[in-house]
Amino acid sequence: MMARVLGLFLWVAVLPAYAEPGSAVTYGPSWHQPGNPPAGQAQRDQEPTTSNQGNSGALATPIANGRPSPKDTAGNDPQQNNSKDSPDWWVAKFTGGLVAIGVAQALLFLWQLVLIRKGLADTKEAADAAKESADAATIALSVFERPWIFVTVEDWITQRGPLNQWSVTFKIKNHGRGPATIETCHIGTVVEDSAGSPGLPILEDQIHTVLGPGEHIEDASLAIPDGISVTPISNRRGTIEGSDDVFFRAQLEYRDVRGGCHGTEACWRFDRGLHRWVKLANPDYNWNS
């Protein structure tokens, strides 16, 4: 479409340069209009002939081959029209100059279009790169700069507190790079349910807190609930009696600074033969998100 517009512009601009202003159409010597004698015949009819009378002996000079005079029918001299002093010569040169300027402007406009298109491509590429960088930063923030809370438990059941209660000692630590706000925390010692699975401990509201990167709740303990019998063995350590499996289970939900919700769970079963807590291998009770 642009090429068609440019071609039309050049045709309109160049056409006046080839038309001579003020020139009239003349007819050739061999062509004549109906009803009028040929130009050469009219001139020969008007030419004087050789007179045999008198002693003058003058012979009129005829026009060779009936050609017209150096001046055209409009009275203009063609040599004068081609002169630099002629207005037509300056008009033709000025028109040619305008055509050259128009062509240069069209080429400049096309070059600007090429540069604009290239600039738009570069801008789009930069925008795509910025978006990819922002997405990578978001992924890095959500994976590497987020909080990661893990729960660990001391192997033995020991007597703690002023009443020397049998208790389980544990630690909650934020191993991530961002702060964590603990929303809920179910943690404690439970007995297997009717299906042989560990039940959900009661909610401990006192652990509702904020843990910064690397911070932890250390040396926390919960007493063994009533109904679970503990027998001392040595060094203030005890073992659980009975036939039912006993578990220590922790389930926490926490949020990061961006409002993202995360969770962690860990579960241990008390091994009566080893007199210690052993972590379950079941991923349904040991996970982190």
List the beta bridge partners of residue 269: 247, 278
Q: For residues 217 and 182, is the Cβ–Cβ distance under 8 A?
A: no
Instruction: Please name the residue ranges forming H helices in the chain.
Output: 2-14, 39-46, 78-81, 87-143
The model's pLDDT over 51-105, given as tens digits with 9 standing for 90+, comes to 444 444 444 444 444 555 555 554 555 555 556 667 777 888 888 888 888 889 8
- As a dihedral over the C-alpha atoms of residue 150, residue 154, residue 159, residue 160, rounded to 10 degrees, the angle is -30
**Per-residue pLDDT, 243:** 85
What's the chain's length in residues? 289
The model's pLDDT over 265-275, given as tens digits with 9 standing for 90+, comes to 999 999 999 99
pTM above 0.85, yes or no: no
Q: For residues 237 and 230, is the Cβ–Cβ distance under 8 A?
A: no
Instruction: Please name the residue ranges forming H helices in 178-227.
Output: none
Give the number of other CB atoms < 10 A from CB of residue 191.
15
Q: Which two tokens stand for residue 72?
A: 């055209």
Q: For residues 241 and 232, is the Cβ–Cβ distance under 8 A?
A: no
Q: Which residue has the higher pLDDT, 196 or 55?
A: 196
Q: Which residue has the higher pLDDT, 249 or 48?
A: 249
Burial 75-109 (b: 16+ CB within 10 A, else e): ebeeeebeeeeeebeeebeebeeebeebeeeeeee
